[in-house]
């Protein structure tokens, strides 16, 4: 698929529209530069990811579980200060503040197989501001909030019981004075609560025990433990406590690790870990933490991080990773998935959510081999990166992560378009050299991966046979040991995934046009789109027709109709090995403005697919949660 950069010279309206899109795109890039810059954690010990792959003889790559929240969906309007909790039964409780009245409301929710949440109707249960909510595996719910009275600074709590579809709330109880309260609960019915002083930047914490039978909490004395703003708290079943907050004087984020000791919390030292604001954190029983925060300043970009509690510190395993626009994010997690909710960056907007499997996407094929090993390429679904090499800031940008990062996020099909200098390009815009691409793939495979990676080279511009031979030499030099070599009697489309990787991770290189026909190499294969008239030359045939529209509804209907009508046979009777679902919108430029519309709906539409699409082909791939969708489809079909 290619995005057309041609504009009808007879249409003034189209010219003006194109110029407007270019201007908006440049403005968007300038205002959101930090989305594409990698944050550096301040307190992080040597990252586990930095250690992986330094010695390619270490064996199979270790599992590193991550979340991939992606772009979010709105689930309530005219709301703010949202907070979320979830337990191991999958019961979700969300509480928020009304934008127009000083009142607090709640939703309950349930996750489906593709990480979509089915929300109940919103219900008011009290007056108040700035709520926080938590739930344990006994379905005991606790909630705290500020008073709605503008003349006092009282803090109130509720105890509730989740019955599977709703929450039965006790009456509210006043328990202290302050602002910005946060609460957590574990399966022992222990609770920890923190808040900021109403008169200064002091942060206070207390321990309590929930009495579900009478809807009360028995509180211990609270004590000051630090200074700051916007504190949030998490607690696990081992009595470990993690707290995050804003600095009182600068846009820095700090954390404490603590341990419940009778009626108090024994806190460790405070550590600066990131720039940003409005942090939140979830804590699992094994010490894993999932953190979210908003960018420092006015940009309202949302970021997430993964770490592990080690003593009184957190070892941050991942760098900060952008996932959406918004503010006041809240995060909750189990061992299997994580949920985030946040407030719109629009002052009049609503509240939004996304959910993610908590898995190792860098090893997702290896870890689901029980499902996919006996299937061939036409029987499984994999994420694919459209114009995979266009990740540098430009008007032709379609990704915001390099190939190595896309591989870690689970992409397994890469659309690579080369010009005469063996550089990536997209329309009139140039990208990185093929050397960078191959180096990234080599780096990933050298980590001991057992994945199948497909590189498709096409849309050659100003490339002749000699330049193609240079490309082949580069591929051989960088990836030779990983290139897949098939038995001459087998078709690529008939080989199972287990057979592809039975001797370790492999790379399948596909080349369009006749270069691989005229200059045959045993480990480089000829690709053909199903509509070509020389399919007899192809080692692999693929259905690939993009919708050429900026309308999501038109794209969705077109792609789903094509999927439903696909019968696996080309017009001349040749078997078509794979179906590519082109889940992309194609403006003249400014793809980053359009990709969220398509990406955030992929998981919802996947539930209605009648057939399995083999490649989930998207822009800005980490925003689509395509691995979660692929895993669902591979289980379903």
Q: What are residue 558's phi and psi, to 5 degrees? A: -65, -50
Query: How far apart (Å, rounded) are the C-alpha atoms in residues 83 and 68?
Result: 19
Cβ atoms of 604 and 560 within 8 Å: the answer is no
Q: According to the model, what pLDDT value does residue 490 have?
A: 85
Cβ atoms of 339 and 90 within 8 Å: the answer is no
Q: What are the residues whose beta carbons fall under 8 Å from the beta carbon of 520, sequence distance 6 or more?
A: none
Query: How far apart (Å, rounded) are the C-alpha atoms in residues 177 and 196?
Result: 9
Q: According to the model, what pLDDT value does residue 22 have?
A: 47
Q: According to the model, what pLDDT value does residue 576 have?
A: 98
Q: According to the model, what pLDDT value does residue 16 have?
A: 45
Mean pLDDT by 10 residues, the chain (637 residues): 36 40 47 41 37 39 89 95 97 96 97 96 97 98 94 95 96 96 98 96 98 96 95 98 94 97 97 96 98 89 97 95 95 98 92 97 97 98 98 96 97 98 96 98 97 98 96 98 90 96 97 96 96 96 98 98 97 96 96 97 96 98 97 97
Name the residue with tokens 């952008």. Answer: 322
Query: How far apart (Å, rounded) are the C-alpha atoms in residues 411 and 409?
Result: 6
The angle that helices 591-599 and 12-31 make with each other, rounded to 10 degrees, is 80
Q: According to the model, what pLDDT value does residue 29 have?
A: 46
Q: According to the model, what pLDDT value does residue 62 have?
A: 75
Domains present along the chain, CATH in parentheses: 73-358 (2.120.10.10), 363-636 (3.20.20.190)
Q: According to the model, what pLDDT value does residue 151 have?
A: 87
Query: Any idea how long the chain is?
Result: 637
Distances, alpha carbon 113 to alpha carbons 68, 117, 345, 542, 596, in Å: 15, 9, 29, 28, 21
Distances, alpha carbon 575 to alpha carbons 274, 403, 455, 569, in Å: 53, 31, 21, 5
DSSP 462-511: S--HHHHHHHHHHHHHHHGGGB----TTS-GGGSBHHHHTBTB-EEEEEE
Query: How far apart (Å, rounded) are the C-alpha atoms in residues 279 and 181?
Result: 13
């Amino acid at each position: 698929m290619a995005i057309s950069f041609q504009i009808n010279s007879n249409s003034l309206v189209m010219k003006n529209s194109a110029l407007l899109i270019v201007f908006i795109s440049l403005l968007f890039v300038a205002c959101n530069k930090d989305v594409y810059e990698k944050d550096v954690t301040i307190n992080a010990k040597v990252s586990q990811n930095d250690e992986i792959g330094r010695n390619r003889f270490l064996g199979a790559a270790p599992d590193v579980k991550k979340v991939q929240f992606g772009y979010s969906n709105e689930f309530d309007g005219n709301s703010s200060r949202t907070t979320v909790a979830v337990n191991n039964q999958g019961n979700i409780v969300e509480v928020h503040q009304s934008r127009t009245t000083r009142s607090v409301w709640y939703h309950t929710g349930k996750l489906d197989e593709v990480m979509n949440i089915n929300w109940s109707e919103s219900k008011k249960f009290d007056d108040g501001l700035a709520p926080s909510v938590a739930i344990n595996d006994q379905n005991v719910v606790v909630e705290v909030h500020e008073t709605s009275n503008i003349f006092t600074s009282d803090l109130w709590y509720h105890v509730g019981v989740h019955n599977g579809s709703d929450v039965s709330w006790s009456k509210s109880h006043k328990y202290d004075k302050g602002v910005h309260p946060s609460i957590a609960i574990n399966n022992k019915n222990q609770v920890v609560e923190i808040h900021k002083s109403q008169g200064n930047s002091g942060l206070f914490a207390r321990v309590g025990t929930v009495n579900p039978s009478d809807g009360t909490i028995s509180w211990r004395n609270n004590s000051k433990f630090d200074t700051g703003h916007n504190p949030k708290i998490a607690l696990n079943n081992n009595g470990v406590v993690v707290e995050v907050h804003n600095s009182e004087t600068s846009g820095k984020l700090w954390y404490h690790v603590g341990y419940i000791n009778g009626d108090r919390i024994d806190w460790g030292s405070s550590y600066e870990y990131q720039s940003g604001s409005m942090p939140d954190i979830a804590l699992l029983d094994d010490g894993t933490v999932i953190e979210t925060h908003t960018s420092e300043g006015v940009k309202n970009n949302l970021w997430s991080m993964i770490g592990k509690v080690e003593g009184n510190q957190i070892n941050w395993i991942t760098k900060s990773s952008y996932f959406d626009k918004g503010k006041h994010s809240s995060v909750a997690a189990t061992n299997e998935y994580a949920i985030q909710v946040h407030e719109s960056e629009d002052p009049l907007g609503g509240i939004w959510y996304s959910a993610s499997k908590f898995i190792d996407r860098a090893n997702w094929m290896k870890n689901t081999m029980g499902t996919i090993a006996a299937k061939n390429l036409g029987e499984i679904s994999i994420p694919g990166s459209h114009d995979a090499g266009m990740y540098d800031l430009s008007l032709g940008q379609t990704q915001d992560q390099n190939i190595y990062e896309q591989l870690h996020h689970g992409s397994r099909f890469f659309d690579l378009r080369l010009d005469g200098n063996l550089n990536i390009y997209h329309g009139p815009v140039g990208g990185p050299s093929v050397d960078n691409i191959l180096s990234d793939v080599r780096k990933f495979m050298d980590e001991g991966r057992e994945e199948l990676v497909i590189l498709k080279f096409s849309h050659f511009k100003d490339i002749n046979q000699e330049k193609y031979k240079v490309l082949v030499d580069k591929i051989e030099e960088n990836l030779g040991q990983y290139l897949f070599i098939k038995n001459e009697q087998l078709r690529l489309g008939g080989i199972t995934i287990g057979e592809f990787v039975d001797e370790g991770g492999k790379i399948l290189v596909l080349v369009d046009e006749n270069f691989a026909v005229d200059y045959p190499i045993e480990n480089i294969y000829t690709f053909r789109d199903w509509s070509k008239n020389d399919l007899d030359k192809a080692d692999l045939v693929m259905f690939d027709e993009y919708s050429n529209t900026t309308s999501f509804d038109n794209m969705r209907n077109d792609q789903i109709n094509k999927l439903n009508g696909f019968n696996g046979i080309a017009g001349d009777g040749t078997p078509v090995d794979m179906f590519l679902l082109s889940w992309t919108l194609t403006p003249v430029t400014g793809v980053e403005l359009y990709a969220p519309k398509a990406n955030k709906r992929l998981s919802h539409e996947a539930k209605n697919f009648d057939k399995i699409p083999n490649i989930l082909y998207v822009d800005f791939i980490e925003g689509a949660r395509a691995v979660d969708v692929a895993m669902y489809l591979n289980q379903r079909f």
